[in-house]
A and B are shown apart, each in its own frame.
Chain A
Amino acid sequence: MSEIILEANAINKSFHDPVTIPILKDITFTVNKGEFVSVIGRSGCGKSTLLYILSTMDTDYEGKLYIDRQLMNNLKERELASIRNEKIGFVFQFHYLLNEFNVLRNVMLPGIKLGKYAVKEVEHRAMEKLKILGIDDQALKLPNQLSGGQKQRVAIARALINDPLIIMGDEPTGNLDKKNSETVFDIFHQLTKEFNQTLLIVTHDNEFASRTQRIIEMEDGRIVKQ
């Protein structure tokens, strides 16, 4: 369990408009393979901002970021996109499913984009992911025919399709009721246990965080406890 998946080294970020306000100060930590990490902190403490930097979507920062031991700074937009495609799975507070495509196709899209497997194979794999999440019977429905909890599970399946090194979540249970939150947590838990999946989840739900393996606590742009 010592293989390092993600490493942040002295990451600083400031907003410059209208005056310079530091958001993140000297963030340094690593995530190992198979870890289930949660990042907590009050809203405004910079935890979401940190997540977007770690996910390579935000490139405006100082410091060094390694994913899979590869330095992310100075990579081109296209290269970052393919790293997100291959190595990172996302689950957001909102499901962000494409309403024009059915559930199965939504899950398949990043897989087809990766182009590692033939479309038929991607479809087969997508069905397997849906089965893991217990919604394979909904595969041919459109996203707007599903309940909130089901949608979030489809989003998780989509995050899993390319067998990412790490799944990043931004308040994945924020929009869900108690029962559905429970389900999503159980799925995450199952993923780490059975598939040795690495997870980095930002949340303000302390109860959710307390059940993860490791908690990184942030305050005013700094890591105060990890």
Chain B
Amino acid sequence: MNSKLIFEIAKSLLLARWKQSMVAAVGVTFSIAMFITLLGFMTGLNDMLDGLILNRTPHVRLFNEVKPNPQQPSNLVKGLGYVLIQSIKPTGNGQNIDNANAILGALHRDERVLGVSPKVTVQVFYNVGNIDITGVINGVDVEAEQKLFHFGDYVTKGNPADLKNVPNSIILGKAAAEKMMASIGDVVLVTTSRGDRQSLKVVGLFQSGLQDLDKVQSFASLATTQKLLGKPASYITDINIKSVDILSAPAMANEYRKLFATDAEDIQTANSQFETGSDVRSVISYAVGITLLIVAGFGIYNILNMMIYEKMDSIAILKATGFSGSDVKNIFITIALTIGFLGGLFGLIFGFLLSNIVDRIPFNTAGLPTIKTFPVNYSLKFYVIGMVFSIITTYLAGMFPARKASKIDPVIIIRGK
């Protein structure tokens, strides 16, 4: 009964000064809308930039560094005393990962692993007339690569699946293709470092967004690459692993290094600077949003103060006729919260619409082939945070004037007339 009455009085006071109330609400609306848009846009950008590198980077990479064997034969002979060996050369299988198939099997059974993609890297020369251009061909499992690292997103021309379907095929880096003036359907000649020659059919063009990479990188199927090198199907130089939880990557890398006796590198070590950048951008957007809200809060504070001065008489008579100080306080807090709630609600709607507009602005850069418009993130989280912020700030802004109103002494006002 009491709360209904308080709500009724709050409503009538709000409507009596509806223009000012609306201005206050518009302030909240504006700040919440900007908050939503800014956070959505910033997070969208973060996601895109993270995706640019992180999505394409394996969480853990297993490989063999070419290096001399630390266990030299002389070490096995005891009692030699001080041994000096000069000019040690790397030996063994080179980049090949020993027992790759068994490792792949073990990784498939590991629950922390989302997927694995084996890879063979080979240094080649593209032979164009009498000029040789250096390059790297990555032999990949197209399906795994597509599933884990969105390979298809970066193939601007042609169909990635053709790598598997067409024998002896290649997807060229776009910049490399331009150098060779090669397009889909053409045949390019490559020479490996051992001198083996092979002609490969171009089935697609690849653009990563990093020009230097596109000048040298090309892709072929695992089988094509192994054939190029004259190696058996068990020859694998890299195993790229995507984990379920990216944060566990360093621990997994450590474990695999010991377990599989290979080198292992995790994404955090390889790309530590990215998270810092994302965090800074988020902090900036929150700071701007909260600043706007505080400004809106001052607006509400002002309007409530004015309202209280204007309605001094009404407050006095309410108190004289039996409304307690806390009743009066509740009336003004109700007014503030109503402004905050309605302003916030419209802010969410306008924020969504504004995000939508930003989402439609064309954004074409050669570096980012998959991005056509500005990226926007529509996470529900921002809308919840926006609403909570608007309620909290308006509550705080309303609390001080409301407290003042509750302390008004009716005697002074009534005597003053």
Contact = CB atoms under 8 A, between A and B. Distances in A.
Asked if chains A and B come from one complex, the reply is yes
A57 interface: yes
A112 B5 contact: yes
B325 interface: yes
A96 B317 CA distance: 6
B322 A96 contact: no
Interface stretch (B187-195, B392-400, B407-415): B407-415
B414 A92 contact: yes
A100 B322 contact: no
Interface string B323-346: 111110000000000000000000
Contacts of A110: 321-322
A113 interface: yes
A81 B5 contact: no
A98 interface: yes
Interface string A56-86: 0110000000000000000001100110111
B12 A100 contact: yes
A77 B321 contact: no
B321 A84 contact: yes
Nearest to A87: B322
B5 A114 contact: no
A86 B2 CA distance: 15
Contact of A57 (B2, B314, B320, B326): B320
Contact of B15 (A57, A82, A100, A109): A100
A112 B410 CA distance: 20
Nearest to B319: A81
B415 A52 contact: yes
B16 interface: yes
Interface string B345-362: 000000000000000000
B19 interface: no
Contact of B12 (A55, A57, A77, A101): A101
A114 B327 CA distance: 13
Given A100-B16, A112-B1, A86 B322 contact: yes
Contacts of B15: 100
B22 interface: no
B103 interface: no
Interface string A26-58: 000000000000000000000010001001011
A113 B320 contact: no
Contact of A82 (B318, B320, B322): B322
A94 B417 contact: yes
Given A48-B415, A58-B411, A78-B324, A99 B319 contact: no
6 contacts: A77-B325, A78-B326, A82-B324, A100-B15, A110-B322, A115-B1
Interface of A: 48, 52, 55, 57-58, 77-78, 81-82, 84-86, 90, 92-94, 96-101, 109-110, 112-115, 158, 170
Given A94-B417, A96-B313, 10 more contacts: A81-B324, A82-B324, A92-B414, A96-B317, A98-B314, A98-B317, A100-B13, A110-B322, A113-B2, A170-B414
